Structure 1
Amino acid sequence: MTTATSLFTPVENDLSQLIDNLTTLVEAQHPILGAAAEHLFSAGGKRIRPAIVLLVSRATLKGQDLTPRHRRLAEITEMIHTASLVHDDVVDDAEIRRQVPTVNTLFGNRIAVLAGDFLFAQSSWYLANLDNLQVVKLLSEVIRDFAEGEIQQGLSCFDTDITLEKYLQKSYFKTASLIANSGKAAAVLSDAGEEVANKIYSYGRNLGLAFQIVDDILDFTASEEVLGKPVASDLVSGNITAPVLFAMAEKPSLKILIEREFSEEGDLQQALELVNNSDGIEKARALAYQHSQLALQDLDCLQKSPATDSLVELTDYVLSRIK
C-alpha cells in the first residue's frame, strides 16, 4: 500500500528541513513552555498539511526552487495544526495522541492551553512577516474556523438532530479549512493566478473532508494502536460523525442510546453493534470517495510534474487507509 512518506518524495528534503526548523521557531523564554513545544514536534505525525503546502508550491512554481516564503508558510501551517491539536486534547481531556502522552497529561491543562496559545501567536507573527495581506487573511480565517468548529462540536454533543450538512460544515472548520486555505496561500505566493488558487482551495476542501470522514470511519474500524487513542472515542464523547448519522437513519434505536448519553449498562456496546451492523460505515466510505473524486478533478489546473502526481495520489491514499 502507498504510504504518506512515499507520496512526499518530491518534497522529502523540504520536509526534513521543515522539521529541523520547527523547534527553533517556537523557542520560548520559559523552559517549560519550550519543553512543551519541543514535545509536540518530536511526537511524530505524517506532516501531511505542510507536505501539501510544499507540493502545491512546487507544482505552481513550475520548476523554480521554493522561496523562503513558501517554506515559512509550510512551517506556519504545521504550527497552526499543532496548536489546534493541543487545544483539542485539553477540550477532550485526552491522555495520549500518536501513542505518546499529550501536553496536558505531561504539563497540566493550564500549560497546555498556554502552549497552544503560544503556537497560535507565533504562527501569527511569522504569518504577518510574509508581507502578503491575502495570505494573512487566508490563514487567519483558519484560526477562526478552528474555534468555530470546536464551539459547534461542543454545542452539538449527543444531539441526534444534527444534519449531514452541519456535520460537513463542522468537518470543514476542524480539518478541511487549514488544508484548503494553506494550499491556496501557497498558490498565491507562487502568483499562480486566481483560477488556479481557487481550484487548489477546492482541492484542499474536498481532500480535507474526505480525510475527516475516513478518520471518523477509523474510529470504529481501527485498533487503538493504529488510532493512537481509544477506539470509538468520538461516540463516547457524544460527537456524532458520518457513520453514526447514517446508522441512526437505519437503526432508530441508536438515537435513544445516544440521547440518554449511554447512561445505562451495556448502552455503549449496543450502540457500537448497531453502527457496525448497519450500512453506516459503507455509506460514509462512499461519501469520502465522492469528495476524493471531486478533489481529483480540481487538479486539472496544474501542469504534470512529480509534485502534481503526488497531489493526485493523495486522493487515493486518503481512501486506502480504510481498505
Structure 2
Amino acid sequence: MTSATSLFAPVEDDLTLLTENLKSLIGARHPILYAAAEHLFGARGKRVRPAIVLLVSRATLPGQEITSRHRRLAEITEMIHTASLVHDDVVDEAELRRGVPTVHSSFGNRIAVLAGDFLFAQSSWYLANLDNLEVVKLLSQVIMDLAEGEIQQGLNRFSTTLSIDAYLEKSYYKTASLIANSSKAAAVLSEVSDSLTSNLYAYGRHIGLAFQIVDDILDFTGSTDELGKPAGSDLQSGNLTAPVLYALEEKPFLEVLIEREFAQPGDLEQAVALVRDSQGIERSRELARHHSRLAIECLAELPPSSSRQALVKLADYVLSRLY
C-alpha cells in the first residue's frame, strides 16, 4: 500500500519547511499557547491538507518554483485545520487525537479554547496579508463552514431521520470545504484558467468527501490503535454517519438503540454489531469510491507532472486506507 509519506514525495521538502514555519508563526509571546501549538504540530499528522495545497501549487506552475504566497497558504490551511480539531475535541470531550492526548486533556478546556481561537486569529491575520481578496473570501468561507458543520452535527445528534444528503452536506462543511477552497485558492494564486480553478475546487470537494466517508467506515472497522480513539466513538456520541444511515434501512432495532441513546448495558456493542452485519459498510465504500473517481476526473485539464500524478494517487490512497 502506498504510504502518505511516499505519496507526497514531490513536496517532501516543502512539508519539512512548513512544519518548521508553523511553530515560528505561533511565536513565543504566549508560552502556554506555544506549548499547545508545539504539542499539536508535533503530533503524528500526515499533513494531508497542506500537502494537497502544495501539490496543486506545483501542478499549476509546471517547471516554475512555487511562490512564498503558495507556501503561506499551505501553512494557513494547516493552522485552520488544527484550530478546528482543538475545538472539535473540546466539544466531543475526546481524550485522544492521532493516539496523542488532546490539547484540552493535557492543558485544560480553557487553554484549548484559547489555543483554537488564537490559531484561527493568526490564520486570519496571515490570510489578510496575502493581499488577494478572492483567496481571503475562499478561506474565510471555510471558517464559517467549519462552524456550520459543527452546529449541524450538534443539532442532529441521535437523529435517525438524518438523510444521506444531509450527512454529505455536513461532511462538506466539516472536512471537504477546507480542502476544496484551499485547492481553489492555490489555483487562484497560480493565475490559471477559471475552468481549471473550478475543477481543482471540485477535486478538493470530492477528495474531502471520500476522506470523511472512509474515516466514518474506519470508526467501525478499524482498531483503537489505528484510529487513535476507541472504535464506535462517533456512534456513541450520537454522530450518525453513512454506515449507520444505510444500516438503519435494513435493521429496524438499530433505531430503537440510537433513540434511547444507548442507555442500557450492551446497547452500543449491539448497535455496532448491527451496523457490521448490514450492507452499510459496503454501501459506504461504494459512496467513497464514487467520490474518489469523480476527484480523478477533475484533474484531466492539468498538464502531466509528478505533482499531478501524486494528486491522482491520493484518490487511490484515500480508498486504500480501508484495506
1-structure distance, mates of 2:28, 2:173: 29
Instruction: Note the alpha carbon deviations across 1:120-168, whole angstroms, 9 max, x for none.
Output: 0000000000000000000000000000000000000000000000000
Alpha-carbon RMSD across the aligned residues, in angstroms, is: 0.6
Partner of 2:151: 151
Distance 1:169 1:149 in 2: 8
CA deviation string 1:60-101 (max 9, x = no partner): 012110100000000000000000000000000011111111
- 1:28 shift after superposition: 4.5
- Tell me what 1:108 maps to: 108
Shift of 1:301: 1.3
CA distance in 1, matches of 2:173, 2:89: 17
Q: How far apart are the structure 2 equivalents of 1:60 and 1:68?
A: 15
The amino acid that maps onto 2:110 is R
Q: TM-score, normalised by structure 2?
A: 0.99
For residues 185 and 289 of structure 1, what CA distance do their matches in structure 2 show?
26
After superposing on structure 2, the runs of 4+ consecutive aligned residues of structure 1 that deviate more than 3 Å are: none
Amino acid at match of 1:22: L
| Gap regions ≥5 residues in structure 2 | none
Distance 1:269 1:306 in 2: 45
Letter in 2 for 1:77: T
5 Å matches for 1:41-120? 41-120=41-120
Distance across 2 between alignment mates of 1:13 and 1:194: 29
- Give 1:269 shift: 1.2
What is the number of residues matched between the two proteins? 323
Q: Which amino acid aligns with 1:179?
A: I
Percent of pairs with identical residues? 69
Query: Aligned to 1:61, what secondary structure does the other structure show?
Result: coil
Q: Unpaired runs of 5+ in structure 1?
A: none
Distance in 2 separating the partners of 1:202 and 1:114: 33
How do residues 1-323 of structure 1 correspond to structure 2 at under 5 angstroms?
1-323=1-323
| Aligned partner letter, 2:48 | I
CA offsets per residue over residues 12-42 of structure 1, 9 Å max, x none? 0000110111000012522111111111101
Distance 1:64 1:112 in 2: 40
- TM-score under structure 1 normalisation? 0.99
Residues of 2 paired with 1:286 and 1:28: CA distance? Answer: 47
